[in-house]
Amino acid sequence: MIFDKKIGVVSYGAYLPKFTVSAEEIGHGEGTNGLGVMQKTVADLDEDTTTLAVEASQQALARLSGKEKVGCLFVGSESHVYAVKPTGTMVAQALGLSENISVADLQFACKAGTQALQIGLTYLQSGAVTQALAIGADTAQARPKDALEYTAAAGGAAFVLGQESPQTPLLARVLASTSVATDTPDFWRRSKQAYPEHGGRFTGDPAYFAHVIKATQLLLAEVKLTPNDIQYCAFHTPNAKFPQRVAKKLGFSKKQLEIGLVVSQIGNTYAGASLLALIAVLDQAKAHEKILVTSYGSGAGADSFLLEVTDQLPKLRQSWNYFLENQLARCEPTNYRAYRAMMELKE
C-alpha cells in the first residue's frame, strides 16, 4: 500500500520500566545463552500493559500542541490486562482524550503494535480522522528456565499519526507498507495458560525469517528501491542474532542496522519491540533519510514500512530533553531473586 505523502508521524513517545535484570543473573552466572541480549527491562509491581501504554503516549502527546484531534486509538499487545475489557478505553480516559473516538485492542503476537500503526494510517488515508494514536506495549511472560526468560521484557511505544498542516508538521512521512501472514504455529498460548509455548528451532527459518524477508522484499518492490537507497533498517528483535542475520540476507549492512538494535540492552518487548527500534532511529536520523522497519508476529506474519524523515524532526528534537537513550541510562539492575519475586506476585 502506498500512502499519501501528506500523512505520517507527527509525534512519538517511548516508555521503559526502571528495572533491568541481566542475562548473567538469569543464567545464574553460567552465561548469556548466546542470544546477544545483555539485560532486559522488567515491569515493576504497579506496571502493566495499560500503564506502559499511557506513559509512552503521554510523552508523545507532550510533544504536540494538543490532543483534541486524536480520533482513533489502537493498542497492540499480547499481554492485555483483561481477557474481556479493552485496554484502549482505559488508555484513552487516562490520557483525557475525547469520548468521540474509535478504539480497539489488537493481538497478533509481536507485530500487534505495527498492526496498530497500519490501521491508524489507513484511517488517515481514508479521511475518517485527522490524527490517530497507535501503541505497541507488552509485559512479556516467560516460563522460568525457558530460553524466553533471557529475552521476554517490558516496554511500550506510541505514535501519533496525522495529516500534515502548519500546526502539526510531519516528523516522518510513511511512504508505504506491506504485510504477509500464514498459519505457521511457531509460538502460542492457550487460554488460562500462564506461559507461552514455542517451537524451538522451528521459530527461525519457516517462521521469523520467511515472513520478515518476504514482507521486506514486497515493500522494496512496491517502492522500487534497493537496500542501498535506504539509510536505516530495523527488524523485529526476538533476540540480537535474528535481526542481524536477516539484515545480512536482505543486503543491509551492520551500519544501517546498529542504531535500532536496542534489544541487547532492553530485551524483546514484544509488540513494542519494532516500534522502539524505530524510535531509537528517529531519535538520531537526519532530514530526508529513509528508514525501513519490518515487524514479526508469531502465528505468523510481518508488516513492513518505509518512512522518510522530514526537515522538521531534527529541528523539533532540539527542544526535546528526554530520549530513549535517557530512559536506558536511568535503568537500575536488580537480581534474579527480586525479579522472580516480582513476576510471581504479578502471576
Query: 281 and 189: one domain?
Result: yes
Q: Is 78 a catalytic residue?
A: yes
CATH number assigned to the domain comprising residue 215: 3.40.47.10
Q: Is residue 104 part of a domain?
A: yes
Query: 152 and 267: one domain?
Result: no
Give backbone dihedrals phi and psi of 138, rounded to 5 degrees, phi first.
-155, 150
Q: Tell how far CA 288 is from the center of its chain.
A: 22
pLDDT surpasses 90 at 197 = no
Query: 310 and 325: one domain?
Result: no
Q: Is residue 2 part of a domain?
A: no
For all residues of the chain together, what is the average pLDDT? 93
Confidence (pLDDT) at 33: 67
Confidence label for 200 from pLDDT (cuts 50, 70 and 90)? low
CB 337 within 8 A of CB 148: no
Confidence label for 201 from pLDDT (cuts 50, 70 and 90)? low
Q: Which three cell numbers stand for residue 312?
A: 522538521
Query: 83 and 201: one domain?
Result: no
Which residue segment(s) compose the domain that 82 sits in? 7-170+317-346
Query: 110 and 176: one domain?
Result: no
Q: Is residue 1 part of a domain?
A: no
Query: 119 and 227: one domain?
Result: no
Cα–Cα distance measured from residue 267 to residue 284, given in angstroms and rounded to the nearest whole number: 21
Query: 31 and 160: one domain?
Result: yes
Q: What is the pLDDT of residues 215-226, one digit of tens each?
A: 999 999 999 999
Query: 235 and 148: one domain?
Result: no
CB 267 within 8 A of CB 38: no
Query: 150 and 288: one domain?
Result: no
Query: 156 and 209: one domain?
Result: no
pLDDT surpasses 80 at 79 = yes
Cα–Cα distance measured from residue 43 to residue 140, given in angstroms and rounded to the nearest whole number: 9
Query: 330 and 255: one domain?
Result: no
pLDDT surpasses 90 at 191 = no
Query: Which residue of the set 47, 55, 72, 78 is catalytic?
Result: 78
H/E run at residue 94? helix 87-95
Confidence (pLDDT) at 188: 62
pTM, to two decimals: 0.95
Q: Which residues pair with 159 in a beta bridge?
A: 12, 134
Amino acid letter for position 23: A
Query: 187 and 294: one domain?
Result: yes
Number of Cβ within a 10 Å radius of residue 248 = 12
Half-sphere exposure of 333 (CA within 13 A, CB side): 10
Query: Which residue of the set 211, 236, 289, 308 is catalytic?
Result: 236
Q: Is 288 a catalytic residue?
A: no
Query: Which residue of the set 72, 80, 110, 233 is catalytic?
Result: 110
Q: Is residue 146 part of a domain?
A: yes
Confidence (pLDDT) at 167: 87
For the chain, the domain total comes to 2
pLDDT surpasses 90 at 84 = yes
Q: Is 236 a catalytic residue?
A: yes
